[in-house]
């Protein structure tokens, strides 16, 4: 296979929400710890080399909607991808087709995990943005002209960064797009024993016009475990 094995690993409420007030309840916090330990803990189940998220998820958690500090007069950077020097043994892969995220360093801290940032761009990204990434030591991949080319992205992650196992970590639109493209192999859901009933927060999978539709996808249950705090860990394979 010319791409990594991909598992979608997410924390949800009882009603399938991936964000919301339920996360601050005792049951939500325990579920969050279970989720983290399975993919990032000392004895983690998934020994992946990187995880991938969409632009909104990155802004919500790491760049906080800051504007990038661009030099519009920057010299023209070399064409193609850029692999920076890094010491981290895990990567955070950020989907950012137009190049708008306001990074100010080349790594993120997620609880006890420090990860090197890889930006995923298309040819819509400006020269000044790529110049900023190079100055910060942030690696980037060009995957598509004006829209994201998933297969090119995944081939480059495997070839350039030796990522054999990749975690797909939201949001719901990105998760569903990968599943509909047939590029997700496994779904892992930690379901917290909590809910807040919100109608405004995103769900585990969400279609978006132009990226995906509501064509049903079928799953095969591989395993289910009762975890701490009455949470459940569900593992599914995707039926092809």
CATH number at residue 196: 3.40.430.10
Give the pLDDT of residue 209: 87
Please say which residue of 130, 163, 196 terminates a domain: 163
Among 169, 125, 164, 126, smallest CA distance to 147 is for 125
Q: Residues 157, 173: one domain?
A: no
H helices of the chain, in order, are 26-40, 55-58, 127-136, 150-161, 172-180
* Residue pointed to by tokens 């990567």: 91
d(CA 60, CA 12): 17
Name the burial class of residue 196, with classes exposed (0-12), middle (13-18) and buried (19+) by CB atoms within 10 angstroms of its CB. middle
Cα dihedral across residues 148, 153, 155, 156: positive or negative: positive
Decide if 21 contacts 181 (C-beta within 8 A). Answer: no
Please say which residue of 144, 163, 182 terminates a domain: 163
Question: Which residue segment(s) compose the domain that 102 sits in?
Answer: 50-163
pTM of the model: 0.95
Among 19, 21, 5, 9, smallest CA distance to 188 is for 9
Q: Residues 155, 208: one domain?
A: no
Taking CA 26 as the corner, what is the angle to CA 35 and CA 53, rounded to the nearest 5 degrees? 30
Q: Residues 71, 148: one domain?
A: yes
pLDDT 10s digit of each residue in the chain, 240 long? Answer: 799 999 999 999 999 999 999 999 999 999 999 999 999 999 999 999 999 999 999 999 999 999 999 999 999 999 999 999 999 999 999 999 999 999 999 999 999 999 999 999 999 999 999 999 999 999 999 999 999 999 999 999 999 999 999 999 999 999 999 999 999 999 999 999 999 999 999 999 999 988 899 999 999 999 999 999 999 999 999 988
d(CA 45, CA 39): 6
Give the pLDDT of residue 97: 96
Q: Residues 195, 168: one domain?
A: yes
Q: Residues 55, 138: one domain?
A: yes
The helix or strand, by DSSP H or E, that contains position 7, with its residue range, turns out to be strand 5-12
Please say which residue of 121, 142, 163 terminates a domain: 163
d(CA 20, CA 24): 8
Q: Residues 81, 30: one domain?
A: no
Q: Residues 116, 185: one domain?
A: no
Among 108, 113, 91, smallest CA distance to 37 is for 113
Give the pLDDT of residue 43: 96
Q: Residues 63, 31: one domain?
A: no
Tell me the HSE value of 192 on the side-chain side, using a 13 A CA sphere: 27
Q: Residues 168, 140: one domain?
A: no
Q: What share of the chain is helix, strand, coil (3-state, %, to 5)?
A: 25, 25, 50
Q: Residues 124, 85: one domain?
A: yes
Phi (first) and psi of residue 212, to 5 degrees: -160, 175
Q: Determine if residue 192 is left, alpha or beta; phi over 0 gives left, psi from -120 to 50 gives alpha, anything else beta.
A: beta
Q: Residues 156, 183: one domain?
A: no
Count of structural domains within the chain: 2
* Residue pointed to by tokens 């330990």: 37
Q: Residues 148, 63: one domain?
A: yes
């Amino acid at each position: 296979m010319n791409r990594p094995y991909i598992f979608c690993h997410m924390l949800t409420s009882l009603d399938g929400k991936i964000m919301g007030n339920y996360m601050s309840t005792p049951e939500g916090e325990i579920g969050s710890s279970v989720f983290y330990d399975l993919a990032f803990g000392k004895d983690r189940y998934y020994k992946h080399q990187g995880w991938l998220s969409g632009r909104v998820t990155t802004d919500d958690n790491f760049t906080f909607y800051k504007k990038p500090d661009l030099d519009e007069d920057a010299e023209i950077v070399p064409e193609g991808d850029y692999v920076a020097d890094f010491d981290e043994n895990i990567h955070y892969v950020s989907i950012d087709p137009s190049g708008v995220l306001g990074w100010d360093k080349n790594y993120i801290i997620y609880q006890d995990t420090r990860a090197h940032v890889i930006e995923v761009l298309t040819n819509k990204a400006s020269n000044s943005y790529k110049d900023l990434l190079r100055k910060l030591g942030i690696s980037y991949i060009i995957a598509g002209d004006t829209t994201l080319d998933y297969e090119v992205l995944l081939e480059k992650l495997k070839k350039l960064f030796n990522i054999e196992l990749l975690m797909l970590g939201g949001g719901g639109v990105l998760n569903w797009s990968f599943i509909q493209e047939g590029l997700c192999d496994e779904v892992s859901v930690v379901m917290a024993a909590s809910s807040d009933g919100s109608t405004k927060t995103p769900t585990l999978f969400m279609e978006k016009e132009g990226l995906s539709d509501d064509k049903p996808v079928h799953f095969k249950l591989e395993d289910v475990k009762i975890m701490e705090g009455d949470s459940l860990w569900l593992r599914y394979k995707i039926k092809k």
